[in-house]
Amino acid sequence: MKSRDELHQELRQTILSLPDVTERQNAGIHEDAFFVGRTMFMHIHGHGHCDIRLPKGDQSRVLAEGKARPHRWAPEAGYVTLIVDDEEDLQPAMDLIRMSHHYFADKQSVLRTGHQ
């Protein structure tokens, strides 16, 4: 069984392995904030408290399916919350993180193409 620190590091490294992702530690109130382009698509508070930004339709579906909880402060921005407490939580968290990354990476691609 992995420690909370090991889980947190594995989660961070997996997020950072996604294309064009950068991390800014202590970005505002977020300990670990992850960006694609200039857009923060998720952040982590403490060890494993993931706030993930989704398109509204995906947010509604994910909440209805019980895959995440509503974000406490910014649900209107599309955020959901998922806690990674153990190894079994990593894959479901990464599924939502990849969904978010894909959406915002595609938006960045459209923006870059539109400015050429």
Tell me what the mean pLDDT of segment 91-103 comes to.
97
Examine the pLDDT at 26 and tell me if it is beyond 80: no
Query: pTM higher than 0.95, yes or no?
Result: no
Contacts of 35 (CB under 8 A, 6+ apart): 21, 22, 23, 24, 41
Integer Cα distance of 71 and 51 in angstroms: 7
58 pLDDT band, cuts 50/70/90, is very high
48 pLDDT band, cuts 50/70/90, is confident
Q: State the pLDDT at residue 115.
A: 47
CA 9 to chain centre: 15
Q: State the pLDDT at residue 42.
A: 95
Q: State the pLDDT at residue 46.
A: 81
